[in-house]
Structure 1
């Protein structure tokens, strides 16, 4: 409980720091925020109206407190471009982006875990070299290039094998489940290939260290084959490390997905953020950047807690340190 409380306090402090950083970063832009939002051809009356509409004529401390209070209530403000609540826009776009990220992560795990274990189990030099090249090439290929290659191969209309759509998302959204799922197949594969190569390298390194450390030999001495020992014992012991890697990969996929969304013309969070920046809707950008940062921090907190729960050595080490501290205090 002390560990969880400490992490939650750090999480709250990090959220506060991020909110201040995002707020200040948009206020130190050259010129007045209202003038930037209004555009170069705006009249002074239009700029003054925008400044009054969004409270930009008030002191900065008051502006920050109003914005932070709205965040605590779940009010992210109103878009100057569409007049809609920012939280509604983000929720609509997130219903596309997060399924895409989850599908990409599933592809990455389906590629990375089996090939990583295969790299450890491979006995021939040629097979090990081939898998090593696969890991390097897969990690070096940009998601944009792999997406273009998949479009040329599997897209309807222009691809050699026309199976999946390459542009857009159904206007009905997930109510048309079949078309919606099909439109995310190529983007998820394009992103998952790159992430899968990274997971493959981490899996090979984590399980390979256990092989060198003797854990696999001990399992084989108990009657397991080498393959059984690697898959049952090696993967289980490497799970805490792999959970951290998968969590970080999940967070990194957000930026990769934004690029792929533009390539496949998907109306996700990346398109929303790019459009708001291009249209100078800085009030909406402010809340969207904070949400992205909060998501990264939340994911890091969850990974930290899961890692501690899966790895008993961390709990034992913490308990031993606390016991030693109490013993030293008693001796004094």
Structure 2
């Protein structure tokens, strides 16, 4: 409980520091925020009116206090370009982005970990070299290029084998689960290949270290085969490390999903952020950046807690520190 309380306090402090950083970042940029949002052809009166409407003529401390209070109540503000609530817009687009991230991660785990185990257990140098080549090539292919290749191969209307839609998301959303799943399949594969290659390399490295340790050798001495000892003992001991890698990869996946969403014309959070930046809707961008950065911090917190729960050595160390305190 002490460890959990400490991590939660650090998480709250990091969120506060993050809010200050995001708020200050848009205020220290050259020029006036209202003038940037109004555009180059706006008159001085229009800029002054927009500044008053957005509260930009108030002291910075008051602006930050109002924004922070709104965030605590779940209010991300109102888009100056569309007039819609940013909270409602994010909630709607999250139905695309987070299922896409989930499908990508599921694909990466399903392919990356078994291939990494196979690469670590391979005895022949040629087979190990082939696995290494697959990991390097798959990890080096940009998501944009792999997405275009998948469209040319499997998209309806333009691909060699028309299996999946290449653009958009069904109007009914997840009320049409088949169509929604099909529209996210190609984007998930385009992003998942890169993530699977990364997980494959880390799994091969982590399991390879365990194969050289005493735990796997002890399992083999007790009658297990090399493969059984590696998967039942070595992989379990390597799990905390793989959880850390998977968590960091999940957080980084948000940025790669932005590219894929724009390529496949998906109405997700990444596409929303790109559109708002292009429209100079900086107040909406402010809240969206905070939300994405908070997601990074949340994933880091969950990974830290999971790592602590899976590795008894960390729990024992925390107990000793608590006893000394």
Report if TM-score (shorter chain) is over 0.5. yes
Q: Deviations over 1:154-184 (max 9, x none)?
A: 1111111111111111111111111111010
Distance 1:282 1:247 in 2: 30
Instruction: Find the counterpart in structure 1 of residue 228 from structure 2.
Output: 228
TM, length-normalised to structure 2: 0.98
Q: Deviations over 1:257-281 (max 9, x none)?
A: 1001111111111110000010011
1:285-300, aligned counterparts within 5 Å? Answer: 285-300=285-300
The alpha-carbon deviation at position 243 of structure 1 amounts to 0.8
Distance 1:215 1:52 in 2: 68
Instruction: Find the counterpart in structure 2 of residue 150 from structure 1.
Output: 150
Distance 1:216 1:170 in 2: 50
Instruction: Find the counterpart in structure 1 of residue 130 from structure 2.
Output: 130
Distance 2:209 2:317 in 1: 21
The alpha-carbon deviation at position 321 of structure 1 amounts to 3.8
Instruction: Find the counterpart in structure 2 of residue 89 from structure 1.
Output: 89
Distance 1:64 1:234 in 2: 50
Partner SS state of residue 56, structure 1? coil
Cα gap change, 1:322 to 1:177, in 2 (>3 Å): closer
Instruction: Find the counterpart in structure 2 of residue 208 from structure 1.
Output: 208
Partner SS state of residue 184, structure 1? helix
Aligned residues: 325
The alpha-carbon deviation at position 76 of structure 1 amounts to 0.9
Instruction: Find the counterpart in structure 2 of residue 40 from structure 1.
Output: 40
Q: Deviations over 1:42-73 (max 9, x none)?
A: 12222122111111110011000000011111
1:301-320, aligned counterparts within 5 Å? Answer: 301-320=301-320
Instruction: Find the counterpart in structure 2 of residue 49 from structure 1.
Output: 49
Instruction: Find the counterpart in structure 2 of residue 20 from structure 1.
Output: 20
Instruction: Find the counterpart in structure 2 of residue 330 from structure 1.
Output: none
Distance 2:206 2:287 in 1: 39
Distance 1:6 1:314 in 2: 14
Partner SS state of residue 7, structure 2? helix
TM, length-normalised to structure 1: 0.96
Distance 2:46 2:322 in 1: 63
Distance 2:56 2:317 in 1: 51
Distance 1:321 1:8 in 2: 18
Distance 1:41 1:173 in 2: 38
Instruction: Find the counterpart in structure 2 of residue 329 from structure 1.
Output: none
Distance 2:207 2:300 in 1: 23
Distance 1:292 1:74 in 2: 14
Q: Deviations over 1:189-236 (max 9, x none)?
A: 010000000000110111111110122121112221111112211211
Instruction: Find the counterpart in structure 2 of residue 186 from structure 1.
Output: 186
The alpha-carbon deviation at position 36 of structure 1 amounts to 0.8
Distance 1:19 1:322 in 2: 31
Instruction: Find the counterpart in structure 1 of residue 76 from structure 2.
Output: 76
Distance 2:95 2:265 in 1: 15
How large is the Cα RMSD of the aligned pairs?
1.1
Distance 2:103 2:312 in 1: 31
Instruction: Find the counterpart in structure 2 of residue 63 from structure 1.
Output: 63
Distance 2:297 2:266 in 1: 26
Distance 1:126 1:215 in 2: 27
The alpha-carbon deviation at position 148 of structure 1 amounts to 1.0
Distance 2:82 2:313 in 1: 52
Q: Which runs of 5+ in 2 are unaligned?
A: none
